[in-house]
């Protein structure tokens, strides 16, 4: 019994220098995958975010929701169509995307965090359209496809956007008032139209604009793996394109690592790609010496 208590104390002591180091810093967390649908993981995610806030770190959440969107479209009898790997977003589909992301999912995450937050710490939901938070334009599909590592679409993909500018004022105001911002990746165009934004890239743009200390991607894999399936614990930005070219990094990991490099070059301190299927993975990556995922930094850091 005493040995167990000593081990608990050792864990706290290991976390202490990291708590000191990161106090007052901003962490942007991209929330998606299994961590959003498994009930136990949802609860631990919410508690972990509240703990970050309690120890003086400023978490900002940017969430996805592709699975939920697909389910809603199917329920409504609307075809789910992808062109070159990008969701074809007609006006009808955009309406559903916004309803699911800014409505159901965003408010559910906010409620979950508030359930565990107690007094004086609250989550607040935002759409990228609120306060023109994510100013966007229709994507240059060829450039965007290259960035995502997918085949360029052969036809029009509709209201899929890319972020031109992040209005940080609403986010900073909330952080100053001790709130936790939860952002749905919906962009707003010049005429007020809505755009569907890739959540990985939206998170990177938010992290850059805030000059965040960390950008953390919760995924459904341990992190970036080598060709033998072993976790790569540390990765430099200069290695990323090499690993994409030789096929080590592929599929859905490509937009994450390219967004990571973009974030680092834009002023973000470090990027972490971690397994959202692991309970308390955020705390284990940030507050332990060993970590549990892949840490990406600039060459020379």
pTM (two decimals): 0.92
pLDDT of 154 reads: 65
Residue 42 annotated as part of some ligand binding site: no
Residue 191 annotated as part of some ligand binding site: no
pLDDT of 212 strictly over 60: yes
Cα–Cα nearest to 174, from 121, 211, 216? 121
Residue 23 annotated as part of some ligand binding site: no
Q: Which of 12-16, 146-150, 257-261, 266-270 has the highest mean pLDDT?
A: 266-270
The yes/no answer on whether domain 23-232+252-297 falls in CATH 2.60.40.10 is no
Residue with tokens 């020379």: 300
Cα–Cα nearest to 256, from 33, 25, 71, 22? 33
Ordered alpha helix ranges (H), the chain: 2-22, 39-54, 66-75, 91-98, 106-117, 141-148, 169-176, 199-210, 237-245, 253-265, 281-287
| Tokens coding 278 | 């692991």
Those residues whose C-beta lies under 8 Å from the C-beta of residue 206, and which sit 6 or more positions away, are: 28, 60, 62, 134, 166, 171, 183, 212
Paired sense of beta strands 186-188 and 179-184, if any: unpaired
Those residues whose C-beta lies under 8 Å from the C-beta of residue 298, and which sit 6 or more positions away, are: 236, 237, 264, 265
Cα(62)–Cα(200) distance, integer angstroms: 8
pLDDT of 28 strictly over 80: yes
Domain residue spans in the chain? 23-232+252-297
Residue 125 annotated as part of some ligand binding site: no
Residue-wise pLDDT for 104-155, tens only, equals 999 999 999 999 987 788 999 999 999 999 999 998 766 666 666 666 666 6
Q: Do residues 105 and 63 make contact, with C-beta atoms less than 8 angstroms apart?
A: yes
């Amino acid at each position: 019994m005493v040995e167990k208590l000593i081990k608990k104390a050792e864990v706290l002591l290991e976390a202490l220098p990291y708590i000191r180091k990161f106090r007052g810093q901003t962490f942007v967390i991209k929330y998606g995958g299994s961590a959003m649908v498994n009930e136990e993981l949802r609860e631990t995610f919410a508690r972990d975010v509240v703990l970050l806030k309690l120890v003086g770190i400023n978490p900002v959440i940017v969430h996805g929701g592709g699975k939920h969107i697909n389910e809603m479209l199917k329920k409504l009898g609307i075809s789910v169509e992808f062109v070159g790997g990008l969701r074809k977003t007609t006006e009808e589909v955009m309406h559903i995307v916004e309803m699911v992301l800014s409505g159901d999912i965003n408010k559910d995450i906010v409620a979950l965090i508030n359930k565990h937050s107690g007094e004086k710490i609250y989550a607040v939901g935002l759409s990228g359209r609120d306060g023109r938070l994510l100013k966007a334009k229709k994507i240059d599909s060829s450039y965007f496809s290259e960035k995502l590592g997918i085949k360029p679409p052969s036809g029009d993909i509709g209201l899929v956007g890319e972020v031109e500018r992040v209005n940080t004022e609403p986010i900073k105001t909330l952080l100053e008032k001790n709130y936790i911002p939860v952002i749905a990746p919906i962009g707003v165009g010049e005429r007020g139209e809505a755009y569907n934004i890739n959540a990985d890239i939206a998170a990177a743009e938010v992290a850059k604009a805030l000059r965040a200390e960390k950008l953390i991607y919760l995924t459904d894999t341990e992190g970036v793996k080598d060709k033998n399936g072993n976790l790569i614990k540390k990765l430099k930005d200069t290695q990323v394109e090499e690993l994409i070219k030789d096929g080590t990094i592929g599929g859905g990991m490509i937009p994450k690592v390219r967004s990571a490099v973009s974030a680092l070059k834009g002023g973000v301190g470090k990027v972490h790609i971690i397994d959202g299927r692991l309970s308390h993975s955020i705390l284990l990556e940030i507050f332990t010496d060993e970590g549990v995922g892949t840490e990406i930094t600039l060459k020379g850091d």
